[in-house]
Structure 1
Amino acid sequence: MSLPDVPARAPRSPDEELLGAQLPTVRADLDDGQRTARATEELETGFRTLADLGRAISIFGSARVPQDAPEYALARETARRLGEAGCAIITGGGPGLMEAANRGAQDAGATSVGLNIVLPFEQAPNPYQDIGLLFDFFFTRKVMFVRYSSAFVVFPGGYGTLDELFEALVLIQTEKIDDFPVVLVGVDFWSPLVDWIRGRLVDDALISADDPALFVVTDDVEEIVRTVVHGCAQQWALPE
């Protein structure tokens, strides 16, 4: 039994063209060198734009949280406090909790960075950015988050938020990057996941017993700021 022929169609986006180029349904007039050149251009633009950013904290969270939600106010306050501590704030540049964090950075007079990505929904750039970059590729955008961050602060979110969180934990666990603070904000939201990590991954010996210590879970802005500032001081060899 053979597979049916699939009609060719144009790729819907540059990342689909790159990642799905082996599929018969995705065809474009580009060779692999041209495809990788697009990604290289995004990396070089990001490196050039953010080269002098200094200490920065990436704040992640859902694009779907409205402005009147308590999580929005907490993300804005957290970003303001971290900005006052001398850190730039990096977000995904979209609405919801990303907007709240960029807004909090501007409240503090700190540099507010948005790493926007072209998506068919959700990702409209928020107006609270001093530096805005636009990416076609998720992986080039992820490089910017890790390369220029001294800590990750992760508010409640969906698949995208979880993706950034676990990618950071993998990089730290495997020593691909220096250990930096990872703070999960929202005890009620994150506790079921943390219980599963400890009750299944640790108990089944799928991760080490001390791997859950790679992150902190809290609702307290003071603890967030203290954890991040302490981690930045160690990473940058600066007095706390």
Structure 2
Amino acid sequence: MPDPLQPVLGGDAPFDATADEIETRAELDVHLAKNTLAGLCVLGLRLDRDPPDLTGVDVRDTMFVGCHLAGPEVESDLILRGAHVVPPFDGRPYPTHPALLYTPEDLSAGFTEHGFAGMFDTVVYEHFVAHGGAVPDIREALAQRLHDAGIDNALGKALNEWAAVQGPGGAIGIMGGHAAARGSEPYRMVAALTRRLAAADRLIVTGGGPGVMEAANLGAYFASFDEAELATAIDRLAVAPHFMDHEPYTAAALSVRAAHPLPPLDVAGRLRHGGLALPTWLYGHEPANLFAGQIGKYFSNAVREDSILRLARGGIVFAPGWAGTVQEIFQAATKTFYATDGPSGAYVFLGVEHWSRLPVADLLGPLLARSPHGDLSGLIVVTDSLDEAVDALSG
């Protein structure tokens, strides 16, 4: 099966990550004109609206996953003719099989009318907690796995669109503390760095949380604005500096977006203006990061973490952070050491004082020097200089 992340990892472009899967009605109509859906997967379509005539269509070994069908008689007919039907799960506040990545508008839907407690992102998180959190019952687990499979496919499509416009160059991951307050020095430094990188057409990838992650997506959002406008936006955000103050924190983000609107953009344009965020409802107590251009929100944290690191082959910036960031450093180092996902870009440790007090780079150097792919210790850069960071990530 093709790897949906391959375009960004350096594979051929254009690249169809879902050639055997149908995610839109237009794509379905193309196949219906050939009178066959045999062996294909139809994902998350509303086939109860303007129902297509499937009676004469070859549906042997076709999978209908998360599709709304016109009625039980249609479902029975499809099964009798050799199709497999996985119906959408009722009673879930999230789509069983999303065909597209989320947007900030999707996650914040309902905030204006109902506040933080009533917005889509919070409603899904409360459902997640109420149904067992990380250890759901079997029905909920199946629904969540189907959702995350849909996000995987949507991610592949989005990256394909990016690669078609920008080429297959490696994305840049931004890691760091979620507790970095808006307006703090690390927050401003990361935002300034990612604004420059995004303006140079580098794809910014984060874990989609607050703190350093929000700063990174904010900087990318301002790729087409100047430094002064970014500084003004951060000042405006800093009136609600801490993410645990959910209501004002979210309101401030929406206010900045309204004050600095973007023109209508396609998927590649949204990725350039805001980057990609891959958060998880496991950490759903953290407010949604509303500056990412495209958001692949998962239930599974393990899948989400691996995807971030697999994508960030153009280099990783480690802003000041503690236990979680240190864990990510050595997860990334393992991939680099073995070249699991191909060659790696620079490891930029931003903040000399912090990384002197937490000297993980001193341990990382001897480790990477012993890589079976040669001495990779030269990838490590510890700096306070944005120019040096940009140069290291542009190599």
Query: What TM bracket, shorter-length normalisation?
Result: 0.7 to 0.9
Residue 153 (str. 1) matches residue 317 (str. 2): yes
**Cα separation, 2, equivalents of 1:53 and 1:107:** 18
User: What amino acid sits opposite 1:173 in the alignment?
Assistant: F
Residue 45 (str. 1) matches residue 45 (str. 2): no
Residues 47-102 of structure 1, C-alpha deviations (whole Å, 9 max, x = no match) = 23333234431111111111121111100100011112221211111111111111
Counterpart in 1 of 2:193? Answer: 78
What displacement does 1:11 show?
Answer: 6.6
What displacement does 1:206 show?
Answer: 11
SS at match of 1:152: strand
Output the TM-score relative to the length of structure 1: 0.73
User: What amino acid sits opposite 2:209 in the alignment?
Assistant: G
Judged with a 3 Å threshold, the aligned counterparts in structure 2 of structure 1 residues 195 and 132 are, in CA distance, closer, same or farther, namely closer
**Gaps (5+ residues) in structure 1?**
1-9, 18-27, 231-240
Contact 2:144-2:299 within 8 A present in 1 as well: no
- Aligned partner (choices 12, 18, 33) of residue 132 of structure 2: 12
Alignment of 1:79-228 (within 5 A): 79-109=194-224, 110-112=272-274, 113-120=276-283, 123-149=286-312, 150-177=314-341, 178-191=343-356, 192-194=358-360, 197=363, 202=366, 208=370, 210=375, 212-228=377-393
Structure 1 or 2, whichever has the larger Rg, is: 2
User: What amino acid sits opposite 2:384 in the alignment?
Assistant: D
Which range moved further: 80-89 or 122-131? 122-131
**Cα separation, 2, equivalents of 1:181 and 1:97:** 18
Structure number having the greater strand percentage = 1
**Gaps (5+ residues) in structure 2?**
1-129, 164-168, 225-271
**Cα separation, 1, equivalents of 2:162 and 2:223:** 16
What displacement does 1:154 show?
Answer: 1.1
User: What amino acid sits opposite 2:378 in the alignment?
Assistant: A
Contact 2:282-2:301 within 8 A present in 1 as well: no
Measured on the aligned residues, the alpha-carbon RMSD in Å equals: 3.0
What displacement does 1:134 show?
Answer: 0.7
What displacement does 1:37 show?
Answer: 5.3
Q: Percent identity?
A: 26
**Cα separation, 1, equivalents of 2:337 and 2:183:** 36
Contact 1:111-1:130 within 8 A present in 2 as well: yes
Count of residue pairs the alignment pairs up: 206
Output the TM-score relative to the length of structure 2: 0.46
Counterpart in 2 of 1:63? Answer: 178
Which range moved further: 123-132 or 217-226? 123-132
SS at match of 1:51: helix
SS at match of 1:188: helix
Which range moved further: 125-134 or 212-221? 212-221
Contact 2:318-2:348 within 8 A present in 1 as well: yes
Counterpart in 2 of 1:21? Answer: none
**Cα separation, 1, equivalents of 2:309 and 2:294:** 17
User: What amino acid sits opposite 2:310 in the alignment?
Assistant: R
